[in-house]
Amino acid sequence: MAVISCLSAVCVCAGMRCVALVLKVVLSLLGSEMIVAQLWCPEVCSCAAGVVDCSKRGLTTASLLPSSFPPHTTALQLNDNHLTALPHGLLDSLPALRRAALHGNPWSCDCGILYLRGWLLKQSNPASIQNASCSSPAHLRGRLLVFLSEQELLDSCRYWLCNLALASQISLFIFITVQVLLLASVILFLRRFELLSREALHLFDQKYRKKR
């Protein structure tokens, strides 16, 4: 009996050591994952347990928006910023991503939003699909992005390109007008200078003749 008791005690001790060893391995793995997540975490965001919080950071499409996120991101919070579109491929490297908070952004529903629309159409989470709506152009304001047809977005692109072309033509006209005015000013100045030079020479010639 004593032998059996000793063997039981040894087994229990061995089992406890195994459990402790497993716990140490798990904790070390969790610790390494946390370290990796923090290394991948963008400076303007906070990261914890697969959730990347970039909300209310004043992010814009042109500046501050991170170019990448931790590969094990499961939830991405980009809400309440100043985003009008997302760069092509930004979310493609996040296979574990299941939820994206996109509300509270002035999304511009033109050809620049096609990538985000395509990504949303591939998602099965209604919360991600239904929290991105158009802020511009005016005729699409309030429409959910996923319910817009590709043709509607392309038509908005054409309007935008037409407006850009018109603005470029107006700018070119103003530039040419300014150049013409500057050239006319230079010509008038040179003529005035020539006239003053002739008058000065005439007065000098008169004074010289009087002295003689």
Read off the CATH number of the domain in which 142 is found: 3.80.10.10
For residue 16, pLDDT beyond 80: no
Q: Is residue 22 part of a domain?
A: no
pLDDT confidence band for 75 (50 / 70 / 90): very high
Q: Is residue 134 part of a domain?
A: yes
Q: Residue 23's pLDDT is what? A: 46
Distances (CA, A) of 195 to 61, 200, 204: 58, 9, 14
**Cα distance between residue 154 and residue 186, in whole Å:** 48
Count of structural domains, the chain: 1
**Contact by Cβ (8 Å): 76, 99:** yes
Burial class (CB in 10 A: 0-12, 13-18, 19+), 106: middle
User: Which neighbouring-strand residues pair with 48?
Assistant: 51
Q: Residue 120's pLDDT is what? A: 92
Mean pLDDT computed over 127-132: 80
Mean pLDDT computed over 132-141: 91
CA 181, 184, 188, 190 dihedral sign is positive
pLDDT confidence band for 103 (50 / 70 / 90): very high
Q: Residue 194's pLDDT is what? A: 80
Each residue of 21-47: pLDDT tens digit? 544 444 444 444 445 555 779 999 999
Q: Is residue 17 part of a domain?
A: no
CA 162, 118, 151, 140 dihedral sign is negative
* Mean pLDDT computed over every residue of the chain: 78
**Cα distance between residue 138 and residue 163, in whole Å:** 14
Q: Is residue 103 part of a domain?
A: yes
User: Which neighbouring-strand residues pair with 60?
Assistant: 64, 82
Q: Residue 168's pLDDT is what? A: 61
Q: Residue 123's pLDDT is what? A: 86
Q: Is residue 162 part of a domain?
A: no
Q: Is residue 26 part of a domain?
A: no
Each residue of 177-207: pLDDT tens digit? 888 888 888 888 888 888 888 777 777 777 7
Share of the chain above pLDDT 90, in %: 40
**Token pair in block for residue 202:** 């005439």
Each residue of 47-64: pLDDT tens digit? 999 999 999 999 999 888
**Cα distance between residue 104 and residue 28, in whole Å:** 39
* Nearest Cα to Cα of residue 64 among 40, 39, 81, 41: 81
Each residue of 169-183: pLDDT tens digit? 567 668 788 888 888
Mean pLDDT computed over 71-82: 95
**Cα distance between residue 108 and residue 103, in whole Å:** 13
* Nearest Cα to Cα of residue 83 among 124, 122, 54: 54
Q: Is residue 128 part of a domain?
A: yes
| Structural domain boundaries enclosing 115 | 41-148
DSSP assignment of 87-109, as one string? -TTTTTT-TT--EEE--SS-EE-
Q: Is residue 73 part of a domain?
A: yes
